[in-house]
């Protein structure tokens, strides 16, 4: 059983292909829930029907953004990952499982946003916790098992960290749901805008950490200096 | 974080892959609305059932052509685009959002063409405005941020212009919907036939602009000559 | 606007990609009609429910085989085609249109095979006529516009011929539907088994034509000889 | 009709592409059955609705794992397969047929697990028998017709053997369904965990066979020695 590095590139490509397929379908299936609002055809006119189901449109929009952000983050991670092994396919499979499931909480949001907004949002929030765990899992596994090239190792470590913070953030937002849906919504909007551009987020995070380290070094140096003075 | 040009080619390929998936699914989901006309099974015979739902067939046809034209135009644009960045993925994501949404106005067309033709067509027309904005956005961003090779720059500029004109055209057609559905339909047929072959359209546009420029040069030259004569 | 041969290979690849997506989705959507038989849940036990809907299973099977054969034939044709132009995308788009539509006649078959077998089969047969026209269209266009490499030209000509014969065959089978559904079914089974392996069919066809030509040459030679004798 | 080895690599790639599409769609369609539980909207609150339909969630989970394992095994097999012929596409098509069908037994599981658990599980088990036959068929055909590179031949033979054992295992589990659903479920969990990592399973199997062979050699050597002694 010989495997050249070329085969491994091909291997990673097929995992991307399959994942892309799942993302693309999950994102497109969302419209089926939207079409649902036209059936059964009622006596009410078209514009009123659409306005009455504004939650369905909102849910479609949220579901779409959610899966698109997932895909963009998955895409950025796979820019670095060039090898795969069978266990990694299971870690990736867990992410796909959550992505495939996403139309379900989206449908819940569409149907229950008016009557049971707290529970509906909490279920969606729980979905986000699972997504961030899966995303962190992919990065953690790829980092630990050297599925990335050595030169990207340092940056990829910072990259995987943003998903660890995302888990904490999502757990927090999940509990906030039960206190105030509006505050929770704001937290999710912040989350969305941060993870819309994951590479830029990582770079920003690296800068903050660098500054902190410099500061602490400076402090230490100052203390040392003071120590020598005293 | 090192990125060779090879990685960037791969990057653009995956955006195409994901987009192709979304296009392919959106175009295939249209048939679900068509199958709908067979449920619930009535006592009416098959041929009568089909004839009674002629709008569903028309809507399927229009929806299919719409998404196919979108795909062809997307395809031609990506012949030039070989680099991507995260913001571009969001611009492309906006187009995919509209494409994913397209089965919804198609379903509306199928259900309401007979009873509320004006509103149904206007919603479809609004969809076209969004599509043309998204298409122009993709070309404009790719041109501005140099995601295309330098040698294609001039042609790509002309190419992106056809989508700007498409926005004006679609806004016009949208308002015409409320005056006369038949005139609006004719406008949309013209739009379809123009954007069926976007490359040829661009070449034709370039020729017209070239001729104009020559004319104006000729005029200026004439005026200059006349000026010197006087 | 410069285009190297490399770009053209990429171009053909993306048309394949999109087509593969459409084929894959159309073939998988067929199961939705099958799941339909479980809703609404009745008091009847599972096995009886399945047996009662044997036409749905048959329709699923026929639909699947139809699209799989289409895909295999499309695949073989694209082994030769390496260039594409915008008009070709429309010819290919016509085939995809029919493929996308295929779940509809399949659903008709499932619902109306018992009550209106003739009409249901004829609609399916009409679908086959369109498929064979589209397949011939693709091959004819690719042959005429030199989208294939020169060395394959001769074989590809024979290959495109089998789809011309398929059109005649399908038109015949379509009219036979109205006379006898059983004879028509037999004709379709023959069609399936022939186009299951299109390359082998072409090779066989070439041999027959070669033998005929040899025979006629032999005859002419004989006649010539006889002529000289006389 | 000339075909270089390069064309054959491309050929195998497109079969993978199409298969990936089918896998991705089949796995994503499962959620539609899950969304079904929200329609028609009842007076019962959201949490109760979800809890009442626990079988739908279980079925979604089982269906997802089933198709993911199929995909992983398909993926590993295609790491070795680099050539395809038309007959192989039919063997592969048979696997895709079963994969496409899988949402149906999954839907049965969701609807009938409470009322007719034995029959529902047996139908799912029958699906597994077909899957293992198809998987063995693919490996057997690829091995026999030399669609794999010569250096992988030995390993691939062992690899194909695990699917032959899977057929026996699945037939056994199928009949156990009618005796005890719980024992059958345990058997399926064992099956899942074994085929989750098919490469590792093959390596383990090879070791066992090697040890056996060594033992038998040792025995023979002992017997020979004893023979010479006597």
Task: Give D 46-75 residues with CB within 8 A of chain C.
Answer: none
Cα–Cα distances (Å) from A223 to A210, A213, A220, in that order, read 20, 15, 5
Average pLDDT over residues A159-165: 92
Reply yes or no on whether the pLDDT at D145 is more than 80: yes
Chain segment B150-173, per-residue pLDDT in tens: 888 888 999 999 999 999 999 999
Question: B31 to chain C nearest CA, in Å?
Answer: 6
Reply yes or no on whether the pLDDT at C42 is more than 80: no
HSE of A71, CA atoms in CB hemisphere, 13 A: 32
D21 contacts in C (CB within 8 Å)? 20-21, 23-25
C66 contacts in B (CB within 8 Å)? none
**Angle at Cα A77 formed by Cα D11 and Cα B6, nearest 5°?**
55
**Angle at Cα B26 formed by Cα C34 and Cα B48, nearest 5°?**
55
CA distance A134 to A124: 15
Q: Could D86 and C78 be called an inter-chain contact, meaning their C-beta atoms sit closer than 8 Å?
A: no
Reply yes or no on whether the pLDDT at A1 is more than 80: no
CA distance B65 to D175: 51
Beta bridge partners of D81: D148
Reply yes or no on whether the pLDDT at A71 is more than 80: yes
For D229, the token pair is 């002694």
Sequence-distant (≥ 6) Cβ neighbours of residue B85 within 8 angstroms: B145, B147
Q: Could A21 and B21 be called an inter-chain contact, meaning their C-beta atoms sit closer than 8 Å?
A: yes
Average pLDDT over residues C211-216: 82
- Give percent above pLDDT 70 in chain A: 93
CB of C37 less than 8 A from some CB of B: no
Q: Could B18 and A47 be called an inter-chain contact, meaning their C-beta atoms sit closer than 8 Å?
A: no
* Residue D111: per-residue pLDDT: 85
CA distance C200 to C203: 5
Average pLDDT over residues A65-70: 93
Chain segment A119-150, per-residue pLDDT in tens: 999 999 999 999 999 999 999 999 999 888 88
* Residue D183: per-residue pLDDT: 92
* Residue C1: per-residue pLDDT: 36
Query: What is the number of CB-based contacts under 8 A between chain A and chain D?
Result: 89
Chain segment B167-221, per-residue pLDDT in tens: 999 999 999 999 998 899 899 999 999 999 898 899 988 888 888 888 887 777 7
* Residue B228: per-residue pLDDT: 66
Average pLDDT over residues D84-99: 92
CB of D37 less than 8 A from some CB of C: no
- Give percent above pLDDT 90 in chain C: 44
CB of B96 less than 8 A from some CB of A: yes
* Residue C69: per-residue pLDDT: 94
* Residue D225: per-residue pLDDT: 72
Cβ atoms within 10 A of the Cβ of A229, count?
A: 6
Average pLDDT over residues B37-61: 84
Reply yes or no on whether the pLDDT at D94 is more than 90: yes
Neighbours of chain C (3+ CB pairs under 8 A): B, D
Reply yes or no on whether the pLDDT at B223 is more than 80: no
Cβ atoms within 10 A of the Cβ of A205, count?
A: 16
Reported pTM = 0.87
Question: C178 to chain D nearest CA, in Å?
Answer: 31
DSSP B157-220: HHHHHHHHHHHHHHHHHHHHHHH-HHHHHHHHHHHHHHHTSHHHHHHHHHHHHHHHHHHHHHHH
CA distance D97 to B151: 47
Reply yes or no on whether the pLDDT at D9 is more than 60: no
For residue D146, give the DSSP letter: T
* Residue A2: per-residue pLDDT: 39
Task: Supply the angle between the helices B86-101 and B54-80 in degrees, to the nearest 10.
Answer: 170
* Residue B3: per-residue pLDDT: 42
- Which residue among B32, B87, B120 places its CB closest to the CB of A46? B120
Chain segment C152-205, per-residue pLDDT in tens: 888 899 999 999 999 999 999 999 999 998 899 899 999 999 999 898 899 988
* Residue C191: per-residue pLDDT: 93
* Residue D41: per-residue pLDDT: 72
* Residue A6: per-residue pLDDT: 44
DSSP A152-163: GHHHHHHHHHHH
CA dihedral A61, A63, A68, A74 (to 10 degrees): 160
Average pLDDT over residues B126-149: 93
* Residue B48: per-residue pLDDT: 86
Average pLDDT over residues D103-129: 90
Average pLDDT over residues C53-76: 91
DSSP C150-178: GGGHHHHHHHHHHHHHHHHHHHHHHHHHH
* Residue D10: per-residue pLDDT: 54
Cα–Cα distances (Å) from C228 to C134, C217, C223, C224, D183, in that order, read 50, 16, 9, 6, 89
- Which residue among D1, D103, D116 places its CB closest to the CB of C152? D1
How sure is the predictor about C115, in pLDDT bands with cuts at 50, 70 and 90?
Answer: confident
A35 contacts in B (CB within 8 Å)? 33, 103-104, 107
Which residue blocks in chain A are alpha helix, DSSP H?
5-35, 46-52, 54-80, 86-101, 103-112, 117-144, 153-179, 181-195, 198-229
Place of tokens 């064979």: C132
CB of A45 less than 8 A from some CB of B: yes
Q: Could A27 and B22 be called an inter-chain contact, meaning their C-beta atoms sit closer than 8 Å?
A: yes
CA distance B14 to B23: 14
* Residue C6: per-residue pLDDT: 44
B20 contacts in C (CB within 8 Å)? 14, 17-18, 21
CA distance B22 to A27: 8
Q: D201 φ, ψ to 5°?
A: -60, -45
How sure is the predictor about A222, in pLDDT bands with cuts at 50, 70 and 90?
Answer: confident
Tell me the pLDDT of chain A averaged across its residues. Answer: 86
CA distance B51 to B65: 21
Q: Could B152 and C2 be called an inter-chain contact, meaning their C-beta atoms sit closer than 8 Å?
A: yes
How sure is the predictor about A11, in pLDDT bands with cuts at 50, 70 and 90?
Answer: low
Reply yes or no on whether the pLDDT at D230 is more than 70: no
Among residues C68, C74, C122, the alpha carbon closest in space to that of C94 is found at C74
* Residue D109: per-residue pLDDT: 87
CA distance A103 to A108: 9
Lowest mean pLDDT among A177-186, A220-229, C15-24: A220-229
Whether the complex's predicted ipTM is more than 0.95 is answered with no
Q: D53 φ, ψ to 5°?
A: -100, 40
CA distance B85 to B14: 12
Reply yes or no on whether the pLDDT at C130 is more than 90: yes
Neighbours of chain D (3+ CB pairs under 8 A): A, C
* Residue D2: per-residue pLDDT: 39
* Residue C50: per-residue pLDDT: 86
Among residues A92, A124, A85, A84, the alpha carbon closest in space to that of A106 is found at A124
Average pLDDT over residues C52-71: 91
Cβ atoms within 10 A of the Cβ of D10, count?
A: 15
Query: What is the number of CB-based contacts under 8 A between chain A and chain B?
Result: 88
Reply yes or no on whether the pLDDT at C209 is more than 90: no
CB of C103 less than 8 A from some CB of D: no
Cα–Cα distances (Å) from D181 to A145, B64, B206, D67, in that order, read 39, 47, 72, 21
CA distance D156 to D152: 6
* Residue C213: per-residue pLDDT: 81
* Residue D149: per-residue pLDDT: 84
Chain segment D171-193, per-residue pLDDT in tens: 999 999 999 988 998 999 999 99
Q: Could C86 and B78 be called an inter-chain contact, meaning their C-beta atoms sit closer than 8 Å?
A: no
* Residue B1: per-residue pLDDT: 36
Average pLDDT over residues B12-39: 87
CA distance B135 to B156: 13
Mind spelling out the 3-state secondary structure of B74-86?
A: HHHHHHHECCCCH
Cα–Cα distances (Å) from B77 to B140, B147, B150, B156, D121, in that order, read 11, 11, 15, 8, 50
Sequence-distant (≥ 6) Cβ neighbours of residue D183 within 8 angstroms: D176
For residue D38, give the DSSP letter: G
CB of B11 less than 8 A from some CB of A: yes
CA distance D153 to D142: 10
How sure is the predictor about C23, in pLDDT bands with cuts at 50, 70 and 90?
Answer: very high
How sure is the predictor about A10, in pLDDT bands with cuts at 50, 70 and 90?
Answer: low
Tell me the pLDDT of chain D averaged across its residues. Answer: 86
**Residue of chain B with shortest Cα separation from C102:** B31
- Which residue among D27, D64, D72 places its CB closest to the CB of A86? D72
């Amino acid at each position: 059983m010989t495997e050249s590095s070329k085969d491994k590139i091909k291997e990673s490509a097929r995992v991307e292909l399959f994942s892309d397929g799942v993302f693309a379908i999950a994102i497109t299936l969302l419209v089926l829930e939207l079409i649902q609002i036209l059936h059964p055809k009622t006596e009410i006119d078209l514009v009123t029907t659409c306005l009455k189901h504004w939650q369905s449109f909102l849910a479609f929009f949220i579901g779409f953004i959610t899966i698109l952000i997932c895909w963009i983050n998955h895409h950025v991670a796979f820019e670095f990952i060039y090898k795969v092994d069978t266990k990694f396919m299971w870690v990736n499979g867990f992410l796909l499982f959550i992505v495939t499931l996403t139309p379900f909480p989206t449908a819940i949001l569409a149907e229950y946003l008016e009557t049971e907004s707290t529970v509906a949002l909490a279920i969606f929030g729980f979905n986000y916790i699972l997504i961030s765990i899966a995303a962190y899992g992919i990065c953690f596994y790829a980092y630990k098992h050297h599925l990335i090239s050595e030169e990207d190792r340092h940056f990829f470590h910072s990259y995987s960290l943003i998903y660890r913070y995302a888990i904490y953030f999502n757990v927090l937002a999940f509990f906030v749901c039960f206190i105030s849906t509006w505050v929770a919504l704001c937290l999710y909007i912040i989350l969305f805008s941060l993870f819309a551009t994951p590479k830029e987020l990582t770079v920003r995070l690296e800068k903050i950490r660098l500054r902190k380290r410099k500061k602490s070094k400076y402090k230490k140096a100052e203390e040392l200096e003071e120590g020598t003075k005293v």
